[in-house]
Each structure stands twice: as structure tokens, then as C-alpha cells.
Amino acid sequence: MIAAFEGWNDACQAATNVIRHLVSRYDSQEVCHIDNEGFYDYQVARPMICSVQGRKRIIWPQTTFYDIDVSPTLHFLAQIAPEPNYRWEDYCRQTLRIAEDYDVSDIVTLGSMFDDCPHTRPLPLDISKNGCESEPDKEYNGPVGIPNILDTFASDAGFRTTSIWVSVPHYCANTECLQGSLELVRALSLLLELPIIEGDLNRKAAEWRKNADEIVEQTHAGDYLACLERDYDLNAQAQRIASNGMPACEELIREAESFLRGN
């Protein structure tokens, strides 16, 4: 099962747009919902009104599950919803009962968050499996959203779990980040060892990068972007050096000293 939630856990809709992309690219059908009553504050997650053939219809916040036919041997149960406002424990238990009903063995939660990262580099990914960070020295401590809670409940219930988060530049907060969605789709492909159809995500990601270039130019944030790029490149270099073992530490120190001198 793949789950993504609108709101605090979904910077620039990068996570929930993965679910929408999968639904649009594969044979899929709605299979069930979680009753919204008691989970939402309607002053926060507002109902929507729309006209269908001249008649007004109210659309309430709700959780929708899709059965997505990815291959002859693999189906996704995809969950998409606004983040609930209340009763998270009950919500997670209902979610896991549905997962059991559909014989789910693995649960993947997706999220996106704002960060100080440059749009001109691959967007950072944080991946944890069965509650364990891939990089323990960067383990997160702080407030969490419903994906983290669901991941913990699922792990405790015996599901294999993976949590994947992508970082999104905060200076692009007003645009959908399809580059982030593309990074998450590619991470899913590696996790499943199955190429997921990318469709027009590459084109949309390129449009997003172009729009980000324009935002930097219009806000005269070129120096700030250059600083983010230097930090990103130095950190990437440090990781490469560290992976080569202790003898490379002196090179890392020289790189850091050179950076601090502005060379």
C-alpha cells in the first residue's frame, strides 16, 4: 500500500501528486473509503461545493483507496486523503484493517517538506525502512504528521514499512513541485525493483525547474541560490569522502577549510 496525505506533510503537493499520477497512468478503481465523520475539522479541511449538470453538490473531505493494477503480479492499494485533524490512532487502525482486507504486506508512506535546498540539484530524499533511518546520524527528532504515525502503527502491527520524504525548496512554495513527485516515483521504482511509468512527469519537472529559475531571477536571490549550491555540493563531497573510509578525512578537512575561506 502507498499512502500520501494533503496538508502539512505535502509541501507543494509533491507526495499526493504521486498517487494522482499512478491513478492516471495505470488501470485503477476506487475500492473503499474511510468515513470522514469525526476525523476532520471542517473549518480547517473545508468541504467543497461544485455544480454537476446544473445541480450543486457538496464534496466532503474523505479518505479514498484505489486498487492500481501495476503488473500481472503486482497491485498497489493507494491511499490519499487530507491529513485528519482528530483521532489519529483510530484512523490508523481503520487504515490497517483495510490494508489487511486487501492482503497488503508492505506499506510505503510518502511525504514532502520544505527545506533549504537548491532547485538546481537533485532534491534530497530521506528514506527509512521498518522505522530505521538510512542515515542514523541524520535521524529526525521533532513534530510529526500522520504518515509517521501510520508508519509506526503499521510496523508495530507486523507490516514491512518504508517511509520516503523529498525536500522541496521553500522559495518555490507557491507552485506544485513535480520534480519532487518525479524523485519519489523514481525512489518507488528502485524500492520495488520495477520501473514505474513516468509519463509526462519529466516534462512537468523541467517546467517546474524553469519556473524556479524565474522565481530566483525575479526575487534577486541569485547569491542565496549560490550559497545553497555550495552547501549542497560540499555535503555531497563529504559523503563521498566519508564512504571511502578514514584515510580520506584530511581531504574533507581541506575541502571544508577552502569552503569557509570562500575559495
Span 118-135, pLDDT tens digits = 999 999 999 999 866 655
- The overall longest dimension of the chain from CA atoms, in Å, is 73
Compute the average pLDDT of residues 232-245: 80
96: Cβ–Cβ under 8 A, 6 or more apart, which residues? 153, 154, 157, 159
| Domain annotation covers residue 152 | yes
Same domain as 226, residue 137: no
C-alpha cell at 21: 499520477
| Domain annotation covers residue 118 | yes
| Domain annotation covers residue 175 | yes
Domain end, chosen from 166, 200, 234, is at: 200
99: Cβ–Cβ under 8 A, 6 or more apart, which residues? 1, 77, 107, 154, 159
User: Is 114 a residue whose pLDDT tops 90?
Assistant: yes
| Domain annotation covers residue 130 | yes
User: Is 263 a residue whose pLDDT tops 70?
Assistant: no
User: Is 243 a residue whose pLDDT tops 80?
Assistant: no
Long-range Cβ contacts of 229-235 (<8 Å, 24+ apart)? 229/118, 229/120, 229/121, 230/259, 231/116, 232/117, 232/118, 232/121, 233/121, 234/259
| Domain annotation covers residue 205 | no
Range of the structural domain that residue 127 is part of: 2-200
Same domain as 85, residue 16: yes
Residue 136 confidence (pLDDT): 53
Same domain as 192, residue 62: yes
Same domain as 173, residue 79: yes
Cβ–Cβ under 8 Å, residues 5 and 81: yes
Q: pLDDT tens across 202-237, in order?
A: 999 999 999 999 999 999 999 999 999 999 999 888
Domain end, chosen from 170, 200, 230, is at: 200
Which value, in Å, is the radius of gyration of the alpha carbons in the chain?
20
Residue 130 confidence (pLDDT): 83
Q: pLDDT tens across 48-82, in order?
A: 898 878 888 898 889 999 999 998 888 899 999 99
Same domain as 183, residue 63: yes
Tell me the residue type at 205: A
| Domain annotation covers residue 210 | no
Q: pLDDT tens across 128-168, in order?
A: 998 666 555 566 778 899 999 999 999 999 999 999 999 99
Same domain as 115, residue 34: yes
CATH number for the domain including 60? Answer: 3.40.50.10900
Indicate yes or no: pTM above 0.75: yes
Strand 106-115 relative to strand 2-6: parallel, antiparallel, unpaired?
parallel
Same domain as 74, residue 189: yes
Q: Highest mean pLDDT: which of 31-35, 95-99, 232-236?
A: 95-99
Same domain as 229, residue 194: no
Residue 261 confidence (pLDDT): 63
Using pLDDT thresholds of 50, 70 and 90, give the confidence band for residue 240. confident
| Domain annotation covers residue 215 | no
User: Is 38 a residue whose pLDDT tops 80?
Assistant: yes
| Domain annotation covers residue 211 | no
Compute the average pLDDT of residues 114-120: 96
Long-range Cβ contacts of 132-135 (<8 Å, 24+ apart)? none
Percentage of the residues of the chain whose pLDDT score is greater than 70: 88
Cβ–Cβ under 8 Å, residues 106 and 74: no
Same domain as 154, residue 73: yes
User: Is 27 a residue whose pLDDT tops 90?
Assistant: yes
Compute the average pLDDT of residues 103-126: 96
Residue 262 confidence (pLDDT): 61
Residue 247 confidence (pLDDT): 56
Same domain as 136, residue 246: no
Same domain as 239, residue 195: no
With H, G, I as helix, E, B as strand and everything else as coil, classify residue 90.
helix
How many domains does the chain contain in total?
2
Residue 170 confidence (pLDDT): 95
How crowded is the C-beta side of 253, counted as CA atoms within 13 Å?
5
Same domain as 244, residue 127: no
